[in-house]
Chain A
Amino acid sequence: MTEAELDFEVDPEDLEGLAPPSRELGGPSLVVDHLDITYRVFGGKKLGTSENAGSRSLRRVVGRGSGHVGAVQQIRAVKDISFVARHGESIGIVGINGSGKSTLLRAVAGLIPPTSGAVYAAGEPSLLGVNAVLMGDLTGERNVMIGGLALGLSRAEVQERFKDIVDFSGIGDFVYLPMKAYSSGMGARLRFAISTASTPDILMIDEALATGDAAFREKSKARIDAIREQAGTVFLVSHSLATVQAICSRVLWIHEGNLVMDGPTDEVTEAYRQYVRGRAKKR
């Protein structure tokens, strides 16, 4: 399995508006203060014990390092990250798989409580993730209602926007089928449409755009721009550098849970690209 999975494919549609519109930035909308996230993971071997685990058979059965009984390990996914985001800014987060991007995003959205440090945000962040299946057994219609209510809309507001949401997602009559019958792209599109149904102060997108087709990408970029227009802040985690370059004005590079680079899109993506090429060659 390669960790350096990267999407170099550049669609002409993405390149058209390559430079994200620059605009006046407002005051801080998000302050991340020395954030640290430690996970507990059940099952699986303790890291670094594989060499000496086989020495004693008893230890292998009952020992803590064996992975059969009491296998709990602490994983420090985000290590002491601090940054400040401003209103109207769109920030990309890049890094190889498993570097802690999604965890950082969730913590910033207030979904994973920090182990230490703090996150301060203006308003209610809305996270949009590929993995955030709402309820697969239920129809898209019901999921629109649940998702909308969960985001804090009222029942009437959701009903009012229902048609918009379905139209935007472009899934048509599939909305009346259970979500488990959807293709991954359809699911992602519906989730995107739900999450952006109310204009969030902070929108966080976790690799969701990669699944859409070109036409959908165009639409979603327009919507993201609209959110930024209203002085919102957008975070985007993506493996597609083309998407990051098209949307973001600033990029954070996360590596092994550390923030290793923070700067304008071109500089960071260029450095990151070189790093990933180097890794790919090494293998």
Chain B
Amino acid sequence: MSGTTAARCGPRPRAPTQERVPPHVTASSHPVAPAPATRGAKSAPAVASPPPPIQSTVTSEELRALALASGLERMGVRPPLRQYLSDLWGRRAFTWELSRSKAYARNRNNYLGQAWSVLTPLLNAAVYVIIFGIILETGRGLDNAIAFMVVGTFIFRFFEHSVTGGAKAIRGNTSLVRAIRFPRAVLPISVVLSELVTLGPALVVMVVVSYASGFFPNYAPVPISWRWLLLPFAIVLLAVFNAGCAFVMARWVAVAPDVQNLIGFAMRFIMYGSGVIFSIQHFVGNDVVARVLQHQPVAVFLDLCRACVLNEPSIPMTWQIWVWAAAWAVVACVGGFVYFWRGEERYGRD
């Protein structure tokens, strides 16, 4: 910004105006930043130029003492974790409004409007079912491959969008960050919340499609079950986990925007490593690798949701899977939040 003009002005001759410190100013400013030698080379003729920077006479200590004596608070510093959390809680209405508005704004520019929040994942699932389920037959080892893939793609989409959205949470909202002061953790949280809002109707469609797929020949029925009632709890755990991921991504991308280019690859890797469209158990021969893949968080959440909705003998509803899911959610969310908070004072400078 300022550097470009600096090069042209050259060294400044004494200013036409007298330098003065007005009586009502308690403190004024200090020494000139030494201009690099290259700038001095292009010497400008003596045209009007601004007065030299005001020499400071007041030290930091005096200013701090004055500020504290007048009961002023220091700005732009990271608040302690406890206060940060309570600030965040104080802004819950703002967070919620932002999430709702974002979810709503997403499909405003289309004729079909909000219908797209259901149509997109549905079409997405249809693509995978046709290519992988019907043509490539990756559904081997499953009783109902359609329902398996539909749940997989819907749930994975929630994770994927939370992470990609979280990555843009700070950098994509620079104007908001530079306009209003609020705990920046509001932004990644609102990304996940707005994804959750869009997911709501999609979940109903997901369950209905899974149920309907049971009427196809060669696909096992998906009976209506009490386990469906557990789905919302599984989704809440997943949302908590997603928030943790969104915190980490938001800070990474705020510091190094290049990371954003890698997210697509990482997502594809995670998608195939989590058995979104095939059963890990059935396709991965090596027992150790299969175990590791099945216990990594995304696979855990996929299995958890499938255990809630489907009736696959290979994916039973066990208490262990709930423990795994809860543990991943807590670890990701707490770790991600602390990591994000530690960068708080940096957001918005770039």
Nearest CB of chain A from residue B134's CB, rounded to whole Å: 38
B-side interface residues, number (CB < 8 Å): 78
Q: Is the CB of B2 within 8 A of A110?
A: no
Q: Is the CB of B349 within 8 A of A40?
A: yes
CB 8 Å contact bits of B156-184 with A (1 = contact, 0 = none): 00000000000000000001111111100
**A186: interface (CB < 8 Å):** no
Nearest CB of chain B from residue A126's CB, rounded to whole Å: 8
Q: Is the CB of A31 within 8 A of B63?
A: yes
Q: 8 Å CB contacts to B: which residues of A245-278? A: 250, 253, 255-264, 267, 271, 274-278
CB 8 Å contact bits of B82-117 with A (1 = contact, 0 = none): 000000001101100110011011001100000000
Selected from B9, B66, B177, the residue in CB contact (under 8 A) with A111 is B177
Selected from B6, B7, B67, B176, the residue in CB contact (under 8 A) with A28 is B67
Q: Which of A107, A155, A253, A261 has the most CB of B within 10 A?
A: A261
Q: Is the CB of B22 within 8 A of A107?
A: no
Q: What CA separation (Å) do A263 and B17 show in the bound complex?
A: 12
Which residue on A lies nearest to B33, using beta carbons?
Answer: A79
Q: Is the CB of A113 within 8 A of B48?
A: no
Nearest CB of chain B from residue A109's CB, rounded to whole Å: 7
Given known A33-B60, A42-B257, contact A122–B70 (CB-CB < 8 A): yes
A-B contact count (CB 8 A): 254
Given known A112-B178, A121-B73, A149-B91, contact A75–B66 (CB-CB < 8 A): no
Q: Is the CB of A82 within 8 A of B70?
A: no
Q: What CA separation (Å) do A44 and B266 show in the bound complex?
A: 29
Q: Which of A29, A137, A258 has the most CB of B within 10 A?
A: A258
- Chain B interface helix/strand/loop/mixed: loop
Q: 8 Å CB contacts to A: which residues of B212-258? A: 257
Q: Is the CB of A155 within 8 A of B93?
A: yes
Given known A259-B29, A262-B54, A274-B16, contact A114–B76 (CB-CB < 8 A): yes
Which residue on B lies nearest to A115, using beta carbons?
Answer: B349
Q: What CA separation (Å) do A167 and B1 show in the bound complex?
A: 37
Given known A110-B76, A137-B105, A262-B25, contact A282–B181 (CB-CB < 8 A): no
**B320: interface (CB < 8 Å):** no
Given known A114-B76, A134-B176, A256-B2, contact A80–B101 (CB-CB < 8 A): no
Q: What CA separation (Å) do A83 and B53 show in the bound complex?
A: 13
Q: Is the CB of A138 within 8 A of B101?
A: yes
Q: Is the CB of B32 within 8 A of A258?
A: yes
Of A6-14, A93-101, A224-232, the one contacting chain B is: A93-101
Nearest CB of chain B from residue A214's CB, rounded to whole Å: 26
- Chain A residues with CB under 8 Å of B350's CB are 39-42
- Chain A residues with CB under 8 Å of B11's CB are none
**A3: interface (CB < 8 Å):** yes
Given known A132-B179, A142-B101, contact A113–B3 (CB-CB < 8 A): no
**B346: interface (CB < 8 Å):** yes
- Chain A residues with CB under 8 Å of B93's CB are 149, 154-155
- Chain A interface helix/strand/loop/mixed: mixed
Given known A48-B7, A98-B5, contact A121–B75 (CB-CB < 8 A): yes
Q: Is the CB of B63 within 8 A of A33?
A: yes
Q: Is the CB of B54 within 8 A of A261?
A: yes
**B273: interface (CB < 8 Å):** no
CB 8 Å contact bits of A104-125 with B (1 = contact, 0 = none): 0011111111110111111111
Q: Is the CB of A80 within 8 A of B2?
A: no
- Chain B residues with CB under 8 Å of A108's CB are 75
Which residue on A lies nearest to B31, using beta carbons?
Answer: A80
Given known A146-B101, A256-B6, contact A137–B349 (CB-CB < 8 A): no
